[in-house]
């Protein structure tokens, strides 16, 4: 188990992992070590500012061979664009220099680098330390009658800015509509974004639709706008295409990524056949799958930890990586692939065991298997989720978590709130749209090649 304790530091609280987690992570390192041959491994690590870091810079300069079948996209990306999703993609030394002389910060950055490369220590406590330097968002006012008011529209958009080497654009709904329209005009096909996994990615897609429906008229394939809006409030466990003019969004439910799809048992459904087809440049095998999209947000989900004990869950996850690692890397040479990095679940809401240690071991295994290749591991979102976690815990200790807006997610056992999802959605729009909108080159991703037609 992950022992969560708290110590006061300038502005915040930090998660401290028990030594047992370190020992457990060493088991993961052994488990994934045998999978390293024959796969895209971690680039040679180097030390900078006390941190070992994945060698993205050389990868971005050389890049992967362009895939002509998909218009040569994704091309070698700027490290600034990748840094929107993976903390320190332009070099962890530059991140360490942000608070030069702060021992806690420097140690955390070094821990992130070492955890990614070596696989013998946890990652989440170090990411949690980075999170405590971000702004506090949740503010509550307690009225004399005991009622509590808070901003239900709170968002962490822009909160990662201090860690980025470039600027993020704050997307308004009309900006997204303009991007979709320009993409359609330039390529003759809609911008296609796919979300493959469980509720962790479904929530992101739902927030993407919810936050832009003022400028885009969404519809579910074969349905109408009302049906699309009903999808926003449903814990859907089935494939759902959501469309608007110039934009195709699709959700592909998967509880265990390495398994084939089996619509008669959603608790064991996978997406292997779909991802293998896309990786080969083909449309998915089922009606409605469509051709390889421009961006795929993928998650292994948390069903391993729900159905099995921690050791079995981690073992099953490593097996998933063994099977799907080559598929994801092949897919990432054709489309942009964002891999979900787990954040913590809230132990004070627990009705069962809290598998935070197992989730962190899964993150370490992901970096060992996928890091340094073409898949982008999305841990900037994890940092935001950890910041939200500490704020929700503080509200819980004050006896206020049951009174704050539900949108904050403080009463959700395993998901971050809409404040984190809004920031995540904005990151995706920066990736997919900055070049299409011809934003100033100081913006992340603006100087990169825009997505082509998805064919």
Q: What is the pLDDT of residues 46-61, one digit of tens each?
A: 333 333 444 343 333 3
Looking at the predicted structure, is the pLDDT value of residue 67 above 50? no
Whether the per-residue pLDDT at 428 is higher than 50: the answer is yes
Count of C-beta atoms within a 10 Å radius of residue 84: 28
We find that the CATH architecture of domain 170-379+403-436 is 3-Layer(aba) Sandwich (3.40)
More confident position, 72 or 453: 453
Give yes or no for residue 9 having a pLDDT over 60.
no
Q: Which of 425, 423, 426, 449 is nearest to 436 (CA)?
A: 449
Q: Give residue for tokens 């064991």.
A: 268
Is 50 exceeded by the pLDDT of residue 263? yes
> Position of tokens 């992967």?
64
Which pTM was predicted? 0.83
Mean pLDDT over 253-273 rounds to: 79
Under a CB-based contact definition with an 8 Å cutoff, are residues 302 and 200 in contact?
yes
Task: Note the pLDDT tens digit of each residue in 109-138.
Answer: 999 999 999 877 899 999 999 999 999 999
Q: Answer whether residue 86 shows pLDDT above 80.
A: yes
Confidence band (pLDDT; 50, 70, 90) for 160? Answer: very high
Is the C-alpha dihedral spanning 138, 142, 143, 146 positive or negative? positive
Task: Please measure the distance between the N-terminal and C-terminal CA atoms of the chain and give it in whole angstroms.
Answer: 46
Average pLDDT, the chain: 81
Express as a percent the part of the chain with pLDDT over 90: 53
Partner residues linked to 9 by β-bridges: 12
Distances (CA, A) of 343 to 95, 178, 376, 388: 20, 33, 16, 10
Which pLDDT tens digit goes with each residue over 322-337? 999 999 999 999 999 9
Beta bridge partners of 400: none
Q: Which residue has the tokens 């962790």?
A: 200
Angle at 395 (CA atoms; ends 390, 396), nearest 5 degrees:
95
Between 267 and 230, residue with greater pLDDT? 267
pLDDT digits (tens, 9 = 90+) for 176-221: 999 999 999 999 999 999 999 988 899 999 999 999 988 999 987 6
Of 246, 242, 247, whose CA–CA distance to 226 is shortest?
A: 242
For 143, list phi and psi in degrees, rounded to 5.
-80, 160
**Which residue from 85, 134, 150, 87 is spatially nearest to 390, judged by alpha carbons?**
134
Q: Which residue has the higher pLDDT, 399 or 48?
A: 399
Residue 66 pLDDT more than 60?
no
pLDDT confidence bin for 229, thresholds 50/70/90: low
Q: Kind of pairing, strands 240-244 and 219-220?
A: antiparallel
What pLDDT sits at residue 232?
Answer: 60
Q: Is 191 exposed, middle or buried (0-12, 13-18, 19+ CB in 10 A)?
A: buried
User: Under 8 Å CB-to-CB from 272, ≥6 apart: which residues?
Assistant: 257, 258, 259, 260, 261, 323, 324, 327
Arithmetic mean of pLDDT, 304-321: 76
pLDDT given at position 436: 95
Phi, psi dihedral angles at 141 (to 5 degrees): -115, 125
In this structure, the number of other CB atoms found within 10 A of the CB of residue 66 comes to: 16
Average pLDDT over residues 396-402: 91
- Model confidence at 375: pLDDT above 50: yes
For residues 135-168, one letter each, b for 16 or more C-beta atoms within 10 angstroms of the residue's C-beta and e for the rest, the string is eebbeeeeeeeeeeebbeebbbbebbeebbbbbb
Please report, for the chain, the start and end positions of each structural domain, with discontinuous segments joined by +.
170-379+403-436
d(CA 259, CA 324): 10
**Averaged pLDDT, 235-249:** 82
Listed residue (34, 65, 75, 40) closest to 55, CA to CA: 40
pLDDT in tens, 296-312: 999 987 666 565 666 78
Q: 437 near 430, Cβ under 8 Å?
A: no
């Amino acid at each position: 188990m992950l022992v969560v304790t708290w110590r006061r530091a300038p502005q915040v609280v930090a998660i401290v992992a028990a030594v047992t987690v370190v020992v457990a992570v060493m088991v993961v390192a052994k488990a994934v070590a045998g999978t390293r041959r024959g796969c895209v491994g971690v680039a040679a690590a180097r030390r900078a500012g006390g941190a070992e870091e994945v060698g993205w810079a050389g990868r971005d300069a050389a890049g992967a061979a362009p895939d002509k079948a998909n218009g040569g996209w994704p091309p070698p990306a700027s490290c600034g664009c990748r840094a929107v999703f993976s903390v320190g993609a332009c070099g962890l030394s530059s991140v360490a220099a942000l608070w030069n002389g702060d021992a806690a910060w420097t140690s955390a950055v070094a821990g992130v680098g070492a955890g990614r490369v070596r696989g013998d220590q946890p990652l989440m406590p170090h990411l949690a330390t980075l999170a405590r330097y971000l702004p506090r968002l949740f503010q509550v006012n307690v009225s004399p009658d005991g009622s509590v008011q808070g901003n239900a529209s709170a968002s962490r958009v822009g909160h990662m800015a201090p860690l980025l080497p470039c600027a993020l654009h704050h997307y308004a709904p009309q900006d997204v509509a303009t991007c979709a329209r320009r993409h359609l005009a330039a390529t003759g096909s809609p911008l296609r974004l796919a979300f493959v996994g469980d509720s962790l990615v479904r929530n992101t897609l739902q927030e993407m639709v919810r936050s832009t429906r003022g400028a885009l008229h969404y519809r579910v394939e074969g349905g109408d706008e009302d049906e699309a809006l009903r999808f926003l409030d449903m814990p859907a466990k089935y494939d759902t295409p959501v469309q608007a003019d110039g934009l195709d969004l699709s959700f592909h439910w998967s509880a265990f990524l390495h398994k084939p799809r089996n619509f008669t048992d959603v608790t064991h459904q996978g997406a292997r056949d779909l991802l293998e087809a896309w990786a080969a440049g083909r449309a998915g095998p089922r009606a409605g799958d469509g051709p390889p999209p421009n961006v795929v947000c993928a998650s292994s989900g948390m069903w391993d930890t729900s159905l099995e004990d921690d050791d079995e869950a981690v073992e099953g996850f490593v097996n998933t990586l063994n099977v799907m690692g080559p598929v994801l890397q092949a897919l990432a040479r054709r489309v942009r692939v964002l891999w979900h990095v787990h954040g913590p679940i809230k132990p004070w809401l627990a009705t069962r065991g809290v598998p935070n240690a197992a989730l962190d071991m899964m993150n370490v295994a992901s970096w060992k298997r996928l890091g340094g290749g073409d898949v982008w591991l999305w841990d900037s979102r994890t940092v935001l989720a950890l910041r939200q976690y500490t704020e929700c815990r503080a509200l819980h200790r004050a006896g206020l978590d049951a009174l704050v807006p539900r949108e904050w997610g403080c009463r959700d056992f395993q998901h971050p709130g809409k404040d984190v999802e809004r920031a995540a959605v904005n990151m995706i729009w920066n990736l997919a749209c900055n070049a299409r909108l011809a934003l100033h080159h100081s913006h992340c991703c603006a100087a990169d090649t825009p997505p082509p037609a998805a064919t």
